[in-house]
Amino acid sequence: MEKPGRQEIAKMIDHSLLHPTMTDRELTEGIALARKYNVASVCIKPYAVKMAAEMLAGSDVLVCSVIGFPHGNSRVDVKVYETEKAIGDGAEEIDMVVNIGKVLSEDWEYVSAEIGAVAGVTKNRGAVLKVIFENDFLPADHYKIRLCEICNRHGVDFVKTSTGYGFVKQPDGTYGYRGATHHDLVLMRKHADPEVQVKAAGGVRTLEDTLKVRELGVTRIGATATEAILLAMSGKAREEEPEGS
């Protein structure tokens, strides 16, 4: 694969501003950073979509909102309403978390209806839809494969590995997550239709990580380490250690 340029890498990045403790100042600083580096989008909490849209007006950076985030437990009609409101506030991309309990129950009719309902809104409004599987919560490949097949059927734009907040209790009682693994990215790229793109989120923190997932066919990443990744493209030292995924 040909070595990408800095702008090509920048346009792979959805700059993530989703941590629940982020203040208004942190959000505005994050939006400004995304605009400075001309990334693909700012992925921001629903209440801040309008602010992000105003700050990014006139730029090539899109506004992305999350729906049913991070656990996917909202009713279908609530997810539809959230999607409509987010687009109305200026979101051009939507990252929706599936109902994970319904996936694990293998209630595929429900899961398909939910994805189809949100996809109906995004298609009607001209927005991009990314469907988040939260792979850390899915213990077997067949769940992920079936989700890819449902997303293919509804013509979603992206399938996405994780929220970055899907923490699983470990044997020692602590919580952790793997995020976007090599195995899952290969699996999702294999079972998603060619026109359905793959977004990696959770654990992609360095330029090396970004290049590795790009080689697997990933076209978007969710990242908080945006500046560090892009400074590495220029060979500059990291200004500070980023937090998060």
3-state secondary structure of 103: helix
Q: Give, for 176, the enclosing helix (H) or strand (E).
A: strand 175-176
Residues 98 and 147: their CA atoms lie apart, in Å, by: 9
Tell me, yes or no, if 95 is annotated catalytic. Answer: yes
**Catalytic, out of 95, 136, 157, 209:** 95
Which residue from 65, 61, 9, 55 is spatially nearest to 40, judged by alpha carbons?
Answer: 61
**Catalytic, out of 79, 157, 199, 209:** 199
Q: Which DSSP string do the residues of 135-158 spell out, in sequence order?
A: GGG--SHHHHHHHHHHHHHHT-SE
Tell me, yes or no, if 45 is annotated catalytic. Answer: no
Are residues 145 and 190 in contact, defined by beta-carbon separation less than 8 angstroms? Answer: no
**Catalytic, out of 79, 130, 144, 160:** 160
Cα angle 128, 81, 138 (rounded to 5 degrees) comes to 65
Beta-bridged to residue 13, according to DSSP, are 221
Q: Give, for 94, the enclosing helix (H) or strand (E).
A: strand 93-97
DSSP 160: E
Tell me, yes or no, if 236 is annotated catalytic. Answer: no
Residues 185 and 179: their CA atoms lie apart, in Å, by: 10
Q: Give, for 199, the enclosing helix (H) or strand (E).
A: strand 197-201
* Helix axes 108-125 and 141-154, enclosed angle (nearest 10): 40
Beta-bridged to residue 175, according to DSSP, are 169
Question: Which active-site residues does the annotation give?
Answer: 95, 160, 199
